[in-house]
């Protein structure tokens, strides 16, 4: 059996990414004719035209669309294998790391992380992006380097996971609020006016389920998309915010925090990354700082 030419994988990856023979040739520093010959070899080897003309442009065949992501991962994994894993020169390192996190994580842990990174590697930039959903596609596709959050059913099994800290939901009100004095009972808590926090999930969640045996239901007055917005509303009104303790330690300064009067489950916030970055020295260095910052930053009551 003829051994396949694995160099064609790199050519195929670039062709599928660019969708143009001319742009692929420029990217690989080949002549257009050489790239056309490489495409012809790929078509013959794979038994599929891969890219076909539609007017003035080339469009991928169904087979090409099916292979695009897989080929990209193969090439990235191959590059990772061949890349030396020597010690990184942090003072000379110029790189942007993209972290997918909740806004609470950025606001509470971001300042400490940025300070640590800037001190050791001034050429490194951290780009924080939001989490509109919990899927692992951004990690697989390489658009995100690191992610923090709770491992869910939608988390891809190949993703690396390391626990950062345990967290729990607490209640927060402005100083002087009626709930800032006296014993917090389930009735006092539930009959207050509440802020719901939801991106895509239903209005009701674990807190409402925990309150069911005690009778009263929460009255949700407003629904917001993040912890800081909920706390800002609670700080300026008589509304009650129920937020993660560790995630919001810095944001709750000057407010009154209290344990919920009903039992709710603690949850583990983890660090997630794709295995192709597991051995990358700079990525390992960044992961270590995220762990250290989380360990050093505690929730405040």
Domain spans of the chain? Answer: 7-82, 95-167+268-296, 169-265
Q: What is the pTM of this model?
A: 0.65
State residue 163's pLDDT score: 94
Whole-angstrom distance, CA of residue 82 vs CA of residue 10: 14
Summarize pLDDT for 194-234 with one digit per residue, the tens: 999 876 555 567 888 888 887 778 889 999 988 889 999 99
Give the CA radius of gyration of the chain.
25
Q: Smallest Cα–Cα separation from 90: which of 121, 113, 115, 123?
A: 121
State residue 1's pLDDT score: 53
**Residue labelled with tokens 């345990």:** 166
Dihedral, CA of residue 52, residue 56, residue 57 and residue 60, to nearest 10: -20
State residue 300's pLDDT score: 47
Q: Smallest Cα–Cα separation from 245: which of 183, 185, 297, 208?
A: 297
User: In the CATH hierarchy, which fold is given to the domain comprising 95-167+268-296?
Assistant: D-Maltodextrin-Binding Protein; domain 2 (3.40.190)
* Low-confidence residues in the chain, pLDDT < 70: 1-2, 83-86, 199-204, 297-301
Q: Which residues have a Cβ under 8 Å from the Cβ of 184 and sit 6 or more positions away?
A: 171, 258, 259, 260, 261
**Residue labelled with tokens 């794709």:** 274
**Residue labelled with tokens 């692992």:** 136
State residue 198's pLDDT score: 79
State residue 301's pLDDT score: 43
Asked whether the domain spanning 169-265 has the same topology as the one spanning 95-167+268-296, the reply is: yes
The CATH number of the structural domain formed by 7-82 is: 1.10.10.10
Q: Is 140 exposed, middle or buried (0-12, 13-18, 19+ CB in 10 A)?
A: middle
User: In the CATH hierarchy, which fold is given to the domain comprising 169-265?
Assistant: D-Maltodextrin-Binding Protein; domain 2 (3.40.190)
State residue 212's pLDDT score: 84
């Amino acid at each position: 059996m003829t051994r396949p030419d694995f160099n064609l994988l790199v050519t195929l990856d670039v062709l599928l990414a660019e969708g143009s023979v001319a742009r692929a040739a420029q990217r690989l520093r080949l002549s257009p004719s050489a790239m056309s010959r490489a495409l012809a070899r790929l078509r013959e080897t794979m038994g599929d035209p891969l890219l076909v003309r539609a007017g003035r442009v080339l469009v991928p065949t169904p087979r090409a669309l099916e292979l695009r992501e897989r080929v990209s991962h193969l090439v990235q994994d191959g590059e990772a294998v061949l890349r030396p894993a020597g010690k990184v020169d942090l003072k000379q390192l110029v790189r942007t790391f993209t972290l997918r996190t909740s806004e609470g994580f950025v606001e509470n842990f971001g300042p400490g992380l940025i300070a640590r990174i800037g001190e050791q590697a001034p050429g490194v930039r951290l780009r924080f992006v939001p989490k509109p959903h919990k899927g692992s596609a951004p990690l697989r596709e390489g658009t995100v380097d690191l992610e923090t959050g709770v491992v869910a059913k939608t988390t891809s099994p190949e993703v690396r996971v390391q626990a950062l800290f345990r967290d729990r939901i607490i209640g927060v009100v402005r100083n002087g609020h009626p709930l800032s004095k006296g014993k917090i009972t389930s009735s006092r808590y539930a009959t207050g006016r509440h802020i719901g926090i939801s991106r895509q999930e239903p209005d009701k969640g674990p807190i409402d389920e925990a309150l069911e045996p005690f009778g009263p239901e929460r009255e949700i007055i407003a629904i917001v998309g993040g912890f800081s917005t909920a706390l800002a509303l609670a700080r300026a009104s008589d509304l009650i915010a129920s937020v993660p303790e560790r995630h919001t330690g810095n944001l709750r300064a000057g407010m009154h925090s209290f344990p919920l009067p009903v039992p709710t489950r603690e949850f583990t916030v983890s660090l997630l990354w794709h295995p192709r970055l597991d051995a990358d020295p700079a990525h390992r260095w960044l992961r270590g700082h995220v762990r250290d910052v989380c360990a050093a930053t505690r929730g405040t009551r």
